[in-house]
Chain A
Amino acid sequence: MSASAVFILDMKGKVLISRNYKGDVDTTEIDHFLPLLMQQEEEGLTCPLLSRGKVHFLWIKHSNLYLVALTMKNSNASLVYSFLYKLVEVFTEYFKELEEESIQDNFVVVYELLDELMDFGFPQTTDSQILQEYITQEGNKLEVTKLRVPNTVTNAVSWRSEGIKYKKNEVFIDVIESVNLLVNANGNVLSSDIVGSVKLKVMLSGMPELRLGLNDRVLFGLTGRDKGKSVVMEDVKFHQCVRLSRFENDRTISFIPPDGDSELMSYRINAHVKPLIWIESVIEKFSHSRVEIMVKAKGQFKKQSVANSVQISVPVPSDVDSPRFKTSVGSAKYVPEKNVVIWTIKSFPGGKEFLMRAHFGLPSVDKDELEGRPPITVKFEIPYFTVSGIQVRYMKIIEKSGYQALPWVRYITQSGDYQLRTNS
């Protein structure tokens, strides 16, 4: 890939900050970006890829910013987008929120980062943990610190620096599975899948060597040896640090972990699982008078488990008024700016069924514009439970200084893109 220049624009198309890496495009080309985009919007079809003459504009939008990469070559589109998202990721780690104000407040750091992230249009050091070792916001506070090139910039292990020290050596392992679900208005499941990931928070000194053991069922699932009982995992992906050859040979996951937070592996399960929280809804609209909503939610998971902070958002027309609710558990609230009713249930045990009724008034005059039919969405979190049954058997930590370290494991199943379409 190669990007000739990178621009960060505000919503009006004004350049907030830019870097012309290669010098083969004129920086004024960017002035055509917003007009081109507007033109597409008028035609009803925006596209993340624009072109003018020989210049291609690849852009993404983040909060109130456009991040635009210009290229003259037939480069690899997905890599350019990945790089733009990498920029967002790095900036967010530096400024918490990436938006117009944070760019303006931190323009020095932004310049410094843009300089290190890419040179001559090629990505260089993009790991934010490593960048944070030598580009700091404190640097602006003028202490003459001895700035040196961090070892990682030269290390063979590019994702971990040497000489990390912790008083207490610990590893936190989170096994998180998100459930994506799409149900059509007739109550048929159109698609459901589970995206799992094993996340690490590593607080270990030195260069530790870790080995992670998962339950065999899952590993068999991976190799496809025992398709009968286990769910078939697709797309098992590992962090760069995992020695894939070891995994191929004897199924051990061994690695030198990056410091701090990282995602060790991810996987996807395509099997049809019973939807964990099932929603039945009746939305009746009586023109010019009222809307009546009845929503029934059922927990279709083990009785011992409990779903926490369940949020069921039910769409309502934008012109409703005088809401009234009745719920068998939890509380319901009308959020006019999003045109939804949010029904919140703090704890929802498996096997239980709850009911919510809502009543709204409608104005006697019809409004002009058509409205879409947004789906009902559900958010939830079920701790100590995974849909796939994946389990961490052991985590071995070996470091040459021989310290003892503790691994902590946590399992969570949560909602991903969980949508149920409605009839009204």
Chain B
Amino acid sequence: MPYLGSEETVKELKRALSNPNVQSDRLRYRNVILRVIRFMTQGLDMAPLFMEMVKASATVDIVQKKLVYLFMCSYATLKPDLALLAINTLLKDCADPNPMVRGLALRNMCNLRMPGVSEYIQQPILSGLRDKASYVRRAAVLGCAKMQNLQPDVEIDGAVVNELYGLLRDQDPVVMVNCLRALEEILKKEGGVVINKPIAHHLLNRMKDLDVWGQSEVLTFLLRYRPRCQSELFDILNLLDNFLGSSHSGVVAATTRLFLSLGSALPAVQSGVLERARGPLLAACNAQSRELRFVALCHVQQVLRSLPGHFGAHYKKFFCSYSEPNYIKFRKMEILVELVNDENVGTVLEELRGYCTDVSPELAQAAIFAIGRVGQTYSEKCLSILTGLLELKQEQITSAVVQTFRDLVWLCPQCSESVCASIAGCEEHIQDSEGKQALVWLLGVHGEQIPGSPYVLEEFIDALKTEQSPAVKLELLTATVRLFLSRPAETQDMLGRLLTFCIEEECDMSVRDRALFCYRLLQCGVEEAHRVLGGPKSDPSLGVIAGRPEEPINSWAGDFNTLAPVYSREDWAALTATTGGSPSLIPLVTGGAAQADLGSAEEAEAAGSAAAAAAPAAPSPPGPSEELCLVSGPPLSPELFERRWLALEPSRRVSLDWPGGDCLPETLQAALQLVNIQALALSRPHARPWKAYLYAHSLGTVVLAELLRDTDAGGLQVTLKQDPEREEALSSFLTVLKTVMQTLGNSSASLSSHD
């Protein structure tokens, strides 16, 4: 009964362990130790047995030794004083004639995570590095990194580092790779292990001896190396070419990433590599393991960002199989939508239609939205499918279809006629608030084309008391006023009832305010109401923006084969920003800056609600904060940036406080990206002078900035240039930049203008 009387158990085990009769019978002794470890695994506190267990390590039985080592490593942090007693046994084992014992002892000694152990392990590690058995050397090399990890503040031992660089030539491949790993860890503050030409060439020659883990690792380290000339670069490409055909998808991906990086200035090389990697990537999309399949699909999406047609001929590979989990099916559908072209559109749509009736409501809905996205280009075919789906009269499906209709009508005005013809009767099958909102919007905007629109709205108004969602009510208000403008006779009465209810009985303030707003608007006269509410009914140009431009390969090549593509882009940006400081601050600050620019908050609200009323269904209604603050515009190429930078005169010079400490470039970049400042180039963390080039779009101008840090003590010199000149944009850029720096450093920055 381990959980009930654990104290009893500990006592009993303690007795057994110190019983000389048990100790002399090896089988019994080991069985007691086994029980201790079993209890430890189950989560019981076995720390009181530390003394007895340490004694048990003096044995010739290697399994018993391993168990005791495991025990010591697990409890060393809790009992540092007693663990020091174990050191002697471990030290003795480190000199054992059996290399297995030496290796084990050394590895476990380095695993004792407690203060003060480093002075004891230093000597064994150093002799372990020169041990004749590679098993010991492997443990010793990683031991160096563990030692550094234990005391991160202690200065790095140059001798150890040199020794490790020397061991890169070790004949054992794992020792070599471990050296790279250890050096990377030890030197992480200095930017990691240095890969110079001799090392790079040595690694390249050893590649074939390594196992798949080693190969992937070395390929990643080789990213650091920049070949001196083109012929060397091509030699490397030739040498590693075989690895693109490796049987391990991880090695293929690592090779691809390295080639993309080596070819960052040679577009021909990059596209050639992706061409070669297509087969393996597709194969990985059908891998046995779901997780690997998923990762491969994420990478396919990444490649598609730059080369939309890259997998066009293989679209059938992305058809979903019945047994696949949803996370794979979702990705596959996203990819299918991207691969649609004139030839395959029929087949793809037929396939997507099949998913629309899936048992999983999420999947069915996603499939309908996917058809909607295809519909932005091939509207006719998609409309007939979507209309057909309405006949199934199922809640989830109808709701999703109506939402898709709304978006389609907004983007493709030519659809509106057939949409209006088909939505009659939908209201009976829609229960969720998103679906209702979409339907009400359609009825409001296109009410004059839908014969029964006032009566449908009336049903909604009659059911107002039971309606839960404020969003539906808001939508209903706008839609009814709109319909009143186009069909006053039929709508007047119910509009009155609606406004009365919303103003007098509604508890939700936003709904009440909207109702009052509508009321006052109508008081201003029909003309005025028309002007405010009768905006455009569609915006085809948004569709073009939604079909995003091709991105340069280099924008994602650095992330290839990491965690980044596996998360969605927004998730990843949020995750990486977390490492910088409090992430929630940054978006809030931009909002604040925007409001300040506006002058009065009231005005902002009015403009905001007007905009929302005019275009509630736009996929991304242009909110006030985006319009008046920094926006993510078209990317600037480095060449273009340089040309502009040289042509312009500095508009302002400012110095900011350095956020302090080691601010990683990724962190800074992610944080800046979050506020729509693009970082073009950043120096490495400890470079002096440290420089960064940034740019941002705002209020129709481009702001270019250079951050310069000469010395450790000095602050950050910021030079701003602008094209064309616009003072507000400049100050808003500075405010945002300042907040970012402040957030990153968590220290107050002082701003002093030099001009």
Contacts and interface: CB of A to CB of B under 8 A. Distances in A.
Interface of A: 1-2, 15-17, 22-24, 44-49, 51, 53-54, 56, 58, 60, 74-79, 81-85, 107-108, 111-112, 115, 119-120, 122-127, 134, 139-140, 142, 144, 147-149, 153-154, 156, 158, 180, 182, 184-185, 190-191, 234-240, 244-245, 248, 263, 265-266, 268, 370-375, 417, 419, 421
9 contacts: A45-B327, A46-B327, A48-B291, A77-B562, A120-B146, A126-B211, A142-B26, A154-B133, A235-B245
Nearest to A140: B63
A53 B583 CA distance: 11
B15 interface: no
Given A144-B60, A191-B319, A372-B358, 12 more contacts: A22-B149, A44-B362, A45-B326, A48-B327, A58-B291, A78-B296, A79-B250, A119-B138, A139-B63, A154-B133, A184-B354, A263-B247
Contacts of A190: 316, 319, 347, 351
B223 to A, nearest CB: 12
B173 interface: yes
B279 A49 contact: no
B172 interface: yes
A125 B173 CA distance: 11
Interface in B305-326: 316-317, 319, 321-322, 325-326
Contacts of B185: 120
B139 interface: yes
A244 B240 CA distance: 11
Contacts of B19: none
Given A47-B327, A236-B245, A82 B250 contact: yes
Contacts of B473: none
Contact of B246 (A15, A182, A185, A237): A237
A154 B319 contact: no
B138 A124 contact: yes
A119 B139 contact: yes
Contacts of A191: 316-317, 319
A178 to B, nearest CB: 11
B295 A78 contact: yes
Interface in B356-370: 358-362
B37 interface: yes
B37 A44 contact: no
Contacts of B286: 180
Contacts of B327: 45-48
Contacts of A139: 62-63
A372 B359 contact: yes
B63 A75 contact: no
Given A45-B327, A111-B67, A111-B70, A23 B250 contact: no
A240 B566 contact: no
Interface in B6-65: 26-27, 30, 34, 37-38, 41, 43, 60-63
A371 B41 CA distance: 43
Contacts of A81: 289, 291-292, 295
A1 B248 CA distance: 15
Contact of A122 (B178, B361, B564): B178
Given A120-B145, A122-B178, A154-B133, A60 B289 contact: yes
Interface in B170-193: 171-174, 177-178, 181, 185
Given A45-B326, A81-B289, A111 B37 contact: yes
B608 interface: no
Contacts of B398: none
Contacts of A421: 322, 354
Contact of B181 (A77, A120, A235): A120
A237 B245 contact: yes
Contact of A108 (B67, B254, B359): B67
A75 B579 contact: no
Given A60-B291, A234-B283, A49 B567 contact: yes
B399 to A, nearest CB: 15
B591 interface: no
Contacts of B362: 44-45
A235 B279 contact: yes
Contact of B134 (A48, A77, A134, A154): A154
B242 A248 contact: yes
Interface in B536-578: 561-564, 566-567, 571, 575, 578
Contact of A76 (B100, B242, B250): B250
B567 A46 contact: no
A375 B209 CA distance: 45
A153 to B, nearest CB: 5
A144 B295 CA distance: 46
Contacts of A375: 322
A84 B295 CA distance: 14
A106 B286 CA distance: 33
Contacts of B581: none
B290 interface: yes
Given A78-B249, A149-B103, A374-B322, A123 B242 contact: no
Contacts of A419: 321-322
B102 to A, nearest CB: 10
Contacts of A107: 37-38, 41
A123 B213 contact: yes
A82 B172 CA distance: 23
B63 A76 contact: no
Interface string B190-219: 000000000000000000110111001100
B332 interface: no
A81 B142 CA distance: 23
Nearest to A186: B350
B172 A54 contact: no
Interface in B274-307: 279-280, 283-284, 286, 289-292, 294-296
Given A48-B291, A77-B295, A158-B209, A235 B178 contact: no
Given A123-B213, A239-B247, A77 B63 contact: no
Contacts of A83: 213
A153 B250 contact: no
A20 to B, nearest CB: 9
A210 B150 CA distance: 49
Most buried by A among B37, B283, B350: B283
B135 interface: yes
A49 B325 CA distance: 14
Contact of A147 (B98, B289, B347): B98
A82 B289 CA distance: 9
Interface string B333-367: 00000000000000100110010001111100000
Contacts of A156: 171, 209
A134 B100 contact: yes
Interface string B125-155: 0000000011100110010011001000000
Nearest to A76: B561
A53 B242 CA distance: 39
A148 B99 CA distance: 7
Contacts of B354: 184-185, 421
B605 to A, nearest CB: 32
Interface in B87-142: 98-100, 103, 107, 113, 133-135, 138-139, 142
Contacts of B30: 142
Most chain B CB within a 10 A radius of its CB, from A16, A79, A149, A248: A79
A234 B279 contact: yes
Nearest to B26: A142
B563 A49 contact: yes
A376 to B, nearest CB: 10
A306 to B, nearest CB: 28
A59 B351 CA distance: 30
Q: Which of A1, A17, A139 has the most CB of B within 10 A?
A: A1
Given A17-B41, A115-B66, A149 B99 contact: yes
A62 B27 CA distance: 34
B220 interface: yes
B641 interface: no
A51 B27 CA distance: 45
